[in-house]
Amino acid sequence: MIKTCGRCKKQFKIITEEKKFLDKMSLPDPVNCPNCRHELRMEQRNDRQFYKYPCAKCGQEMVTTVNPKKGYTVYCLKCYADFRANVDLTKV
Ligand SMILES: [Zn+2]
Ligand SMILES: [Zn+2]
């Protein structure tokens, strides 16, 4: 199966095994050649967004790669360590 890459317009082949796998997973056919898919993945990694979010305990702003949803509790590393330490203590 020959497809034209939507990014570089080069033709690429979807091998039977890949097609079978895509069908099995109900995934659409890839629109980009493997090369572009790889490049796009790299770009996405570089573009990874950083969010500033205040620690739920001390309120100090920290940077997280996770998009903090509303009501999502995040602790800074220090508070998280304290939290863990406290949990361990109550267990003993
Ligand atoms: Zn391409
Ligand atoms: Zn904190």
- Ligand number nearest to the C-alpha of 9: 1
Cα(28) to ligand 2 centroid in Å equals 43
Q: Which-ligand-closest: CA of 10?
A: 1
- List Cβ neighbours of 29 (8 Å cut-off, separation of 6 or more): 1, 3, 14, 19, 22
User: What pLDDT is attached to residue 2?
Assistant: 93
Residue 19 Cα, ligand 1 centroid: separation in angstroms?
18
Q: Looking at the structure, do residues 7 and 37 belong to the same domain, yes or no?
A: yes
Residue 87: per-residue pLDDT? 75
In the reported structure, the alpha carbon of residue 80 is separated from the centroid of ligand 2 by a whole-number distance in angstroms of 7
What residue type is assigned to position 1 of the chain?
M
Cα(43) to centroid(ligand 1), Å: 14
Q: What is the pTM of this model?
A: 0.45
Q: Each residue of 4-58: pLDDT tens digit?
A: 999 999 999 999 999 999 999 999 989 999 999 999 888 777 666 778 888 888 9
Average pLDDT over residues 71-83: 83
Residues 7 and 30 both lie in one domain: yes
Q: Which domain holds residue 23?
A: 2-46
Residues 56 and 79 in one domain: yes
Which residues are CB-contacts of 36 (< 8 A; sequence separation ≥ 6)? 5, 7, 8
The structural domain count of the chain equals 2
Same-domain check for residues 57 and 26: no
Q: Give yes or no: residues 71 and 35 share one domain.
A: no
Q: Is it the case that residue 83 has pLDDT exceeding 70? A: yes
